Chains A and B, each alone.
Chain A
Amino acid sequence: MKKHSVLPGFGLTLGVSVTYLSIVVLIPLALLVWSTMSLSFADFVKAVGSKQVIASYKLTFGAAFLAALVNAVFGFIAAWSLVRYRFFGRRVVDALIDMPFAMPTAVSGIALTALCASNGWVGSLAAKYGSKLVIFAEEHGLDFMNIPYLNRYDGLQLAYSQFGVFIALTFIGLPFVVRTLQPALEDLDREVEEAAESLGATKFQTFRRVILPSVFPSLMTGFTLAFARALGEYGSVVFISGNLPYETEITSLLIVAKLQQYDYAGATAISVVMLTASFALMFVINFTQYLARRRK
């Protein structure tokens, strides 16, 4: 029954892959779960289900999702212009995309905070025009009071707010989308587009019906990677978020806080929840991709 592949070395490479994967990924994960096992079920629920932790899930998942979404749109545009057009400085832009990968996250966090704090370049503009906007709105009887971190005195507060968390997560996620989309866009056959146009499709129809479906799996992969990366981010966010309980505390900060109290089991319990959630998400996205491919 055993079929031999034309390529030699299957047994060897599979053995190496499995061993490597076990050492690098599976064993640490097993230890994580093992460490959580020391908790009783009630303690586990208490550790992962307290109001404060739930508030942090909402912020972390919400900001990570929005950031990945924004990156999917703008990452697509960036990848498209890098692949399709030849312009002066293209290689520089292409190299710049990788900066968030290469920079230590604390450095990105400090840089973004310097930029977005109320005395920074961007932050001061947000403060000035934010407060003008609120005053304008109040004069016209509109109620802006419900938007957090926006008021007439401080304007729009970018750093030390939920916006800050979103900004940091957007920054670190961009390369994932661009780098997964680039090869897909390069493989795209221009003749197919030309065919679509010659058959009378509008530009939008070509994009919607021809281009998007063929790069969609890569776009989803990029989105998922950016999302998953953002869920676990710590270094850059703690500088810009302000870390106020229930407002701007991300889940990884709570994990670190638990470690500081020598509560290893509690810390790993929250990690297990995060891990399960991201794994479930990856699974769902891969599964939808599989379904989409089968339908074709």
Chain B
Amino acid sequence: MTDTSLTPWKVETRTKASAISAIVAALLVLFAFAAPLFASRSVLQDLFFILTMLVLAQNWNLLAGYAGLVSVGQQAFVGFGAYAMFALVILAGLDPLAAIVLAGIASALLAVPTAFFLFRLQGAYFAIGSWVIAEVVRLALAQWKTLGGGTGTSLPREATRDMPALKFIGDLFGVKSSGAGDILTYWLTLLLAIATIFLVYRLLRSKQGLGLAAVRDNQEAARSVGVDARRMKTLVYLAAAFGTGLCGALIYVQKARISPDAAFSVVDWTAYVIFIVVIGGIGTIEGPIVGVIVFYLLQTLLADYGSWYLLILGLVGIATMLFAPRGLWGLFADRTGIQLFPVRRRLTGGPLSSTRKGGPHG
């Protein structure tokens, strides 16, 4: 660079691509919020599905990709959030919207005792332990007879139809309450997805995020410079439980029918999510976004082939892990150096304006 030693050293995360992407993202968000104006109900339902998977994937990515907590039991929080929402609506007669928020808090509360158990376990033990805990929660809730026991139950129609928010949306768009319900759940998930991405991004750019990356890359070294690894991991675990529980409650407000086997399905809420993150690129914010798009395309293409779909998804996941462990986004970012959500710190300014690619992230 020409103006040597005039500019002081600065640590930056912003890049040119990120500035453009911020503008594009803002436009996309506006467009997405306006979607109910022109999109059909089935398109909205598909978008709802994509967004919920994205939220689950971002949460799992935060756990596994940044905090190094490989959980195979996140379905515990999807199911628990969903059941908490059902209990609050059916037994306490709460408005579903309030119940969703409380269900997220309930999931975070569930994460306190499970963290107590799981944080005694390392690595693979942690993965299996999280799965066992999800099974325990499923089996325990299947005993809850007022919520239908093992066969499950439905949300009462009055509860979902008479929400004040639905009436407002129904009047606004001139649709019936079922259509308004789709619009409402779509908006809420869109909001949740944006909030999740924003919060993860903020966390990773913060001092705590730097600590987290340090812990992931080398726990001993991070601790030696004063990063409290356990505290960071617990915090991330609780946050992921909150987000996953919120998302679970939202999914089941839309489904309006719950059973323990569906709500605690390891395939639906964990296997898919893991494949999304791995295929897209673990340890990046962009990865789950790319992954969920690939996942949706594969699902649409292979919809008629039954179990072949999962088989192919599994093979693609294995191949990605072996040959491109940083996923599709990793391949792309390595070639181009583009980061849409830059969390890597770069030293700029000073006598040698360094924009070296390929350094460690964080």
Indicate whether A and B interact: no
What residues make up the interface of B, taking CB atoms closer than 8 Å to A?
Answer: none
Using a CB–CB distance below 8 Å, which chain A residues touch chain B?
A: none
